[in-house]
Structure 1
């Protein structure tokens, strides 16, 4: 069984604005990377993302970028832990791939789809995928609130 998930949501802004809210580290830090993001999402770049809920910067490799359409990232897989809130998970020696797709809708909104795959087919890999599925769902909710309403949904949520 391949361990992989997909989350999606519609954002009431044009594709270019939504894409830029993810690609620009200053904008991303306003609603998602609560500890800050370093480096713009550009093909071949190595970024760092830091989160208050998982302290310690994560290196993020940018594999592919198609402006206003697609971002492909890789980062170290973290396998699940005991399920404690805020636990970072167990570091591993392999990586997962995150693909973000940005698609315009007929009514002027943007459909954002995020797929993450590549976990080992183990109980820890399955738990790790659940943790990241939760994280990417939260990211989409936070993006929607910030870009549409100027509200940082994650502010004070974890710290």
Structure 2
């Protein structure tokens, strides 16, 4: 069986440069994805992200950034599994950007299928939140996952 990859995509009505900056800049990211970051996503940087609903830091290793085109990083996308995430940006007509996220890969077994479901859902949410933020200045994530907070 082929390994599993989580994928999601969406078109955003903003230029690639603006979308790219919203993905790498922690000030922007805190308006739709994370609560805070130890820095800007730049090739070779090791960062720590904090999500609003979890009391822990998530280590992120930035593998590569290409302005207006690509953000690639590695993180523990599943318990004890370092996974690569590639966010590809493609210019579209009308000053729009197609954003494609690919994460993986995991074995095609019960653990992998559970991961695939959760992370595909997560990346679709990430993209919806990014679109709402960039096009309408709305933070869809704010309060959305408070039920997941650990006490």
TM > 0.5: yes
**Residue 44 of structure 2: SS of its match in structure 1?**
coil
Aligned residue pair count: 145
Q: Is the 8 A contact 1:95 1:118 kept in 2?
A: no
The reply on whether 1:122 has 2:109 as its aligned counterpart is yes
Name the CA shift for 1:61/1:147 in 2 (closer, same or farther; >3 Å): same
In the alignment, structure 1 segments of 5+ residues that lack a partner are 79-90
In the alignment, structure 2 segments of 5+ residues that lack a partner are 147-151
**Residue 52 of structure 1: SS of its match in structure 2?**
coil
**Separation (CA, whole Å) in 2 of partners of 1:116 and 1:96:** 7
**Separation (CA, whole Å) in 2 of partners of 1:65 and 1:147:** 20
Counterpart for residue 140 of structure 1: 127
Q: Is the 8 A contact 2:62 2:72 kept in 1?
A: yes
**Separation (CA, whole Å) in 1 of partners of 2:21 and 2:77:** 26
**Separation (CA, whole Å) in 2 of partners of 1:38 and 1:11:** 27
Show CA shifts across 1:42-101 (max 9, x none).
Answer: 0000111222344412101101111110111111131xxxxxxxxxxxx21x31110000
Greater CA deviation, 125-134 or 103-112?
125-134
Counterpart for residue 58 of structure 1: 58
The reply on whether 1:95 has 2:96 as its aligned counterpart is no
Report 1:8-157 matches (<5 A): 8-33=9-34, 35-78=35-78, 91-92=79-80, 94-157=81-144
Q: CA deviation at 1:122?
A: 2.8
Q: Is the 8 A contact 1:77 1:119 kept in 2?
A: no
TM-score by length of 2: 0.90
**Separation (CA, whole Å) in 1 of partners of 2:99 and 2:86:** 10
